[in-house]
Amino acid sequence: MLHEIIDKYYLDKEKGKNRSKVQNHFYVSQTGKCPRHLFFKFKNVPEKELEPHMLRLFDHGDHMHQLIMSALTSTRDIHVVASEVKIPPQELISGRADAVISDGNQLYVLDIKSMNSMIFKSLTEPKPENIWQIQLYLYYFRIPKGILLYVNKDNLQLKEFIFDYDPDQAKKLLADLKFLKNQIDTNIVPKRLESYPNNWECRYCQYKSVCDIGAQGEMKWDDFKTQVQWVNSSEE
Ligand code: SF4
C-alpha cells in the first residue's frame, strides 16, 4: 500500500515539474551532456518517465547536500559566504552553485556531488563534466579556485578536489554551448555521441528510443520529427 502511494507521490511531483518547465536556455548542470539529448529537451520531446526509485535517489542527493552544508555553516574553520549562488542572469545559461566559501585568504566555489559506493570508489580524479560545470561558475563569479566535494551516499565518506580557474576551458565550454544553441535555433539535430549506444549517458538516456530512430550524424529536425509520431504537438 505505502509503496504505491509513495511511488505515485514522486511520479506526480515529477509530472508537475515537467509541465511547468519549457526549456529555453541551458543550465550549468547540463554542461557536458550529450548535445542531441539537450536538443530534444529544448524541442520538448516527451521523455521516458523516470522510475520512482530514481526520483527518490535525486531527493536523497539533495539531503546529502543539506547535511554537508549544515556542517560547513556550523563550523568556524571555514566561512560560508553565500549558498545557492545564482550566476548573473543572461540569455544563454543559468545555474546555481552550491556555495561560495572562504578560508580567510581565498574564495572558493563549492560544488557538492553525491554518488553510490561503486562510482565513489572508482573516483581517483574529478569527473570532467563536474570540472566543466565548476569552471563556468568560476568564470561567472570571477573566483580563481573551485572545490568539488564528492559524497558517498552509502557510507557518507568524502573526497575533495581543489583546482584553478582555467579561462581557456571556460571559453571553449561557452563556445560549444553557443554552437549548440545555434543548432537548436536552426533546427539541426546534433550527431549522436561517438560511443553511442554504449556510453553510460545513452544507457540512462530518456530520449534513447527517439535517438534510435534517427541517423548517427546531424539531421534536419523538420524531416526527423515526422518520423517521431509522438513528438509533442506543442513543439513549433
Ligand atoms: S541515446 Fe545517447 S546519443 Fe542519443 S540522445 Fe541519448 S545520450 Fe545522446
What is the pLDDT at residue 228? Answer: 75
- Give the residue, by CA position, lying nearest to ligand 1 atom 4: 211
Q: Is residue 221 part of a domain?
A: no
Is 56 inside any structural domain? yes
Evaluate if residue 234 carries a pLDDT over 70: no
Predicted confidence (pLDDT) per residue in 2-25, tens digit: 888 888 888 888 877 765 567 889
Q: Which ligand 1 atom sits nearest the alpha carbon of residue 197?
A: 2
CA 167 to centroid of ligand 1, rounded, Å: 29
Which residues lie closer than 8 Å to 120 by C-beta, 6 or more apart? 150, 152, 154, 157, 159
Q: Give the closest residue (by CA) to ligand 1 atom 3.
A: 192
And the C-alpha cell for 168?
581557456
Q: Across all residues in the chain, what is the average pLDDT?
A: 90
**Residue 76, domain member (yes or no):** yes
Q: For residue 236, tell me if it sits in a domain.
A: no
- How far CA 132 is from CA of 111, 139, 149, 183, 204, in Å, comes to 11, 11, 14, 21, 21
Q: What is the span of the domain harbouring residue 108? A: 2-33+49-186
- Rounded to two decimals, the pTM is 0.88
Residues whose CB is less than 8 angstroms from the CB of residue 142 and which lie 6 or more positions away in sequence, other chains included: none
- The whole-number average pLDDT for the span 93-112 is 96
Q: Is residue 72 part of a domain?
A: yes
* Number of domains making up the chain: 1
On whether residue 57 sits in a domain, the answer given is yes
Separation in Å, CA 35 to CA 22, 123, 150: 17, 25, 25
Q: Indicate whether 81 belongs to any domain.
A: yes
pLDDT tens digits, one per residue of 212-222: 999 999 999 99
SS3 33: coil
Residue 235: pLDDT above 60? no
Mean local confidence (pLDDT), 191-220: 94
Inside any domain, residue 74: yes
CATH number for the domain that contains residue 180: 3.90.320.10
Span from the CA of 75 to the centroid of ligand 1 (angstroms): 43
pLDDT at 101 over 90: yes
pLDDT at 166 over 80: yes
> How many A from CA of 138 to the centre of ligand 1?
28
The minimum-distance atom of ligand 1 relative to the CA of 211 is: 4
Pocket of ligand 1 (CB under 6 A): 34, 36-37, 192-193, 196, 199, 201-202, 205, 207-208, 211
